């Protein structure tokens, strides 16, 4: 990709084609979500993220073929967003600086997101703007972002800000505060 086409990426992308322009520039990370039956809300899928993370922390020799393979397949085929690092990190950091503390700004990373799968019944809703654990709630969750294909945990981060062109868009920007890099 040339520098010229990179500079034409808007601060808040509006379509999958713009998201795809970032393909060769950055790793693709996965952010999982689920339908919470209790609240009938789309939420981040922290419990299954921690189950997948635990699989990576275990010894490979403790892997039980049929049982663990079925669990692994169910964990990596969940509804998710694909995330790629935005090319305008400093501009976005400045843009969202009023919403973040100085500590958060030091660990801030902006991603372009694209909804990759739409297998939940409420596919027009987003985990980013739910009132339970979405962006801007009193206790945003710590989320594990996994690398695409290998599903290796890459970053543990809290969603801090997000912006999209229309409510529950399939493409937009999410700012994360990195807590840990496993």
For the chain, domain boundaries: 15-180
**DSSP H helical segments within 11-88, as ranges?**
16-20, 46-57, 65-76
The model's pTM: 0.86
Tell me: pLDDT of 7 over 60: no
pLDDT in tens, 20-36: 888 777 899 999 998 88
Helices 65-76 and 46-57: angle between axes, nearest 10 degrees: 140
% of the chain with per-residue pLDDT over 70: 91
Q: How confident is the model at residue 119 (pLDDT cuts 50, 70, 90)?
A: low
> Which H or E element spans position 93?
helix 89-95
Which region among 54-58, 78-82, 119-123, 162-166 has the lowest average model confidence (pLDDT)?
Answer: 119-123
Q: How far apart are CA 160 and CA 174, in angstroms?
A: 8
Q: How far apart are CA 129 and CA 137, in angstroms?
A: 9
Q: How many CA atoms lie within 13 A of 66 on its CB side?
A: 0
Which region among 18-32, 77-91, 112-126 has the lowest average model confidence (pLDDT)?
Answer: 112-126
Torsion of CA 85, 89, 95, 100, to 10 degrees: 80
Tell me: pLDDT of 113 over 80: yes
């Amino acid at each position: 990709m040339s520098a010229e086409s990179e500079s034409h990426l808007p601060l808040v992308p509006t379509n999958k084609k713009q998201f795809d322009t970032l393909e060769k520039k950055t790793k693709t990370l996965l952010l999982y979500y689920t339908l919470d039956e209790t609240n009938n809300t789309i939420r981040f899928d922290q419990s299954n993220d921690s189950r997948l993370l635990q699989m990576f922390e275990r010894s490979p020799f403790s892997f039980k073929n049929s049982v663990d393979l079925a669990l692994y397949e169910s964990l990596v085929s969940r509804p998710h967003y694909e995330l790629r690092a935005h090319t305008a990190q400093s501009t976005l950091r400045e843009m969202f600086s009023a919403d973040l503390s100085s500590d958060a700004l030091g660990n801030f990373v902006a991603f372009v997101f694209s909804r990759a799968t739409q297998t939940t019944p409420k596919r027009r809703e987003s985990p980013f703007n739910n009132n339970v654990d979405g962006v801007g709630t009193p206790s945003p969750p710590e989320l594990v972002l996994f690398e695409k294909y290998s599903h290796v945990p890459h970053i543990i981060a809290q969603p801090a800000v997000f912006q999209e062109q229309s409510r529950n868009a399939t493409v937009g920007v999410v700012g994360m505060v990195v807590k840990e890099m496993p």
